[in-house]
Structure 1
Amino acid sequence: MEDWRGFAQQMASLARDLLAQESVNDTLKRITGSATELVEGCDAAGILILRGHRVQSLAPTDQVVVDSDDLQGRVGEGPCFDAARTSGGQRQFRIADFTDQARRWPEYVPAARRLGLGSMMGFLLFTEDEDLGALNLYSYRPGAFTEASELAGWLLASHAAVAFSSARTHAQMQEAIGTRHTIGEAMGILMGSRRLTEDQAFAVLRRYSQDHNVKLRDVARQVCERGGPP
């Protein structure tokens, strides 16, 4: 009980710390770093994002995380790969010993053992509105993760999902504000240099964006940097 009280205090402190990070990347690094600090048996951690059949490793604490994610992407199978593309089904898993899973993932498991992996856990990062990827925890030892480890990982993942979603929303809002400011500045430059109305200036930016397949914000940035049309 005393150990769990201490863990609860650590989790409460972590929840505040995650929300205080300055960027999405900082938030993700704090999440994966906390996994190796707080979850017993965890030697490495990372967040896997799956887009179609392409995988991306975010904030890995060790190269083995990237290697495992890349491996699953190449062979199209594996526990993280399965969990990240699950919809409404399994949201966490614990593999006590990789050697027992050869039939389930015949290509991934032998290669994972060659990477030195012995056991792992995975937790979907999700909120009520969105799935954000999977937090994956690795150990070099078979049997390293217990039920207590799984509970600790689940609690961490719950805090992590909220912090990840909040950080991403904040970043998107900041980008949107910056984009509106840049477009407004570019329109002002065009209005002054070409004697255009506001609607005409915006039409010039939009037409250049469409004709040259360049994002509107990038066109506006070019106008601001050059002091005139791109």
Structure 2
Amino acid sequence: MFSSLVFSAGAILAMFQALPTITLAFPTADPDSNSNSNTPSSIPDYFIKGDGPPPPPPAATINVTSTSTLLEARMKTFREIVDHDCDNTGNGNSKWGYAESRRVWEGIYHLRKVQGKPTSGRGPANCGRVSCSWKTAIYWCNDNPKVENQLDSYDDIAWAAEQVSSKCSYAGTGENTGTPAMTNNKGGYLKGAVYMKGLWSVIVRYDDTNGC
């Protein structure tokens, strides 16, 4: 009996020894493979809002001088005048009437205090009256036929109205009287418009509509 059990156990052992050897292989990391294929790129994607420059990459050193130069260049482009119209054709076909210079400057001072960002719908010549008193009006227009426009502040409009005063004031002698120092000069009159490279414009004119 015992011998048969020993034989059986020996037979089973012999059977296992006769089976082929099976090797289980597990994948190992290949140092030459792209181990970062599922990791985020070191170059971030930027979502730029407005027309400002994209933010710098992480840990970048910002050069204050170059940043100031960039902002200054943008401001020059944004406020760059490409044309002006003083409506002085002299043929009786005037588009606008003359407004008092001192009232224009009152409007300029007012606009510099207004908070918020003026927004206008798609142009061209989509104009809105932003200041009006004593029959003197300042209009801001979006001349871009494709998109609406938003300025950084009402001070941009005030600045443009000041440029109209500088270029188009009239006192009967051609002397510019539309300056702050001459704001009480009742003989100073002006009308006109300036047109910006950024496809917006400002018109200064006489206006007696809607309680102006």
Report if TM-score (shorter chain) is over 0.5. Answer: no
**TM-score, normalised relative to structure 2:** 0.26
Q: Which has the higher helix share?
A: 1
Larger proportion of strand? 2
Using CA pairs under 8 Å that are at least 6 residues apart, name the structure with larger relative contact order, 1 or 2: 2
**TM-score between both structures, scaled by the size of structure 1:** 0.24
